[in-house]
Amino acid sequence: MRSFTVRAPASSANLGPGFDSLGISLGLFTTLRVTRQPFTQVVPLGPELADTPADTSNYIYRCMQITARRVGRELPPVRVEIQTEVPLARGLGSSAAALVAGLVAANVLLGEPLGQDELLDMAAREEGHADNVAPALMGGIAVATLDRVGTHFVRLSPPEYLGVTVLIPDFELSTSKARAVLPTEYSRADTVHALSHAALLAAALATGRLELLEHAMQDYVHQIWRAPLVPGLTDVLEGATRHGALGAALSGAGPTVLCFHDARQDTAGLHAFLHGVMRRNGLDGRVMNLPIDLQGVLVSEDQ
């Protein structure tokens, strides 16, 4: 293909207790248009990417080089145009979408020497965990682990009528800062709580038991420690289910907060509650319903 497009979705990780292991793919996208030409150009487009490098030091091009090094080949000269709907540093998997898009684009350029499992393992090792990259690559809900042997995963189709509402505040929170506040050790009680609730959450999503989400999404591993970094988080976690949510969680490292809802029900009350939380905490931002992406990364040939 002389010119092709790669589209990778946003994702929300953890979903409460599934720390570094559970994520869902969402309908906001990072898109690359890759065109063979005699010299290499990297062209970030749009206000979201205004401060990102317009050369081969760009993160997406560096991700493309990871694939090339893996297969022992050089990338051919190309023009890479980059656009994104995924807000940066908001806990919606912007780096995972960029990483997956870059790895897949290079794989296509080089004749697709790597399969999905190899791409997932590369992405997970680059990120350090698989909770965002697995749903970005495969779509739907992913339960994934990363160890010395490899990356192991189960892809789940979302339960019928599962809907997603997100509150996206207008401030950034780096993953490194959000990880720095976490303790280095946990009590046995908190460990048992995390294991049991993560297992219950995965089972509830696998079987469509939406009524269990309120209880299954409780978490003591990361949300309580990150709450001081995200004004209003505790209000949402404690109050969202009284306004139409099935359950609520910090999205990834934050500051976005995700609420599951029954897609058959009106979400006006939930939106009003979330806007009220922002007002009370002096925040600006967006509240929106997002579709769950079922396809993951997509490649299409340009005409």
CA distance 90 to 129: 18
Q: Are 167 and 287 in contact (CB under 8 A)?
A: yes
Q: Determine the pLDDT at residue 175.
A: 87
How is residue 270 annotated by DSSP? H
Query: What is the DSSP annotation of 3-60?
Result: EEEEEEEEEEEETTTEEEEEEEEEEEEEEEEEEE-SS-EEEE-SGGGTTS-SSTTSHH
Are 302 and 32 in contact by the 8 Å Cβ rule? The answer is no
State how far the Cα of 200 lies from the Cα of 273, in Å rounded to an integer.
27
**Residue pLDDT, tens place only, 187-205:** 999 999 999 999 999 999 9
Q: Give me the pLDDT at residue 72, please.
A: 96
Q: Phi/psi of residue 49, each to 5°?
A: -110, 15
End-to-end CA, the chain: 10
Cα-based distances in Å from 161 to 7, 60, 95, 237: 25, 34, 28, 21
Inter-residue contact 9 to 26 (CB < 8 Å): yes
What span, in angstroms and rounded, lies between the C-alpha atoms of 83 and 150? 31
At 131 the pLDDT is 94
pLDDT by residue for the chain (303 residues), tens only, comes to 799 999 999 999 999 999 999 999 999 999 999 999 999 999 999 998 999 999 999 999 999 999 999 999 999 999 999 999 999 999 999 999 999 999 999 999 999 999 999 999 999 999 999 999 999 999 999 999 998 888 999 999 999 999 999 999 999 998 899 999 999 999 999 999 999 999 999 999 999 999 999 999 999 999 999 999 999 999 999 999 999 999 999 999 999 999 999 999 999 999 999 999 999 999 999 999 999 999 999 999 987
Q: Which pLDDT value is given to residue 159?
A: 95
Whether pTM exceeds 0.75: yes
pLDDT, position 272:
98
pLDDT at 286: 96
By CB atoms closer than 10 A (0-12, 13-18, 19+), residue 280 is exposed
Backbone angles phi, psi at 25, to 5 degrees: -90, 135
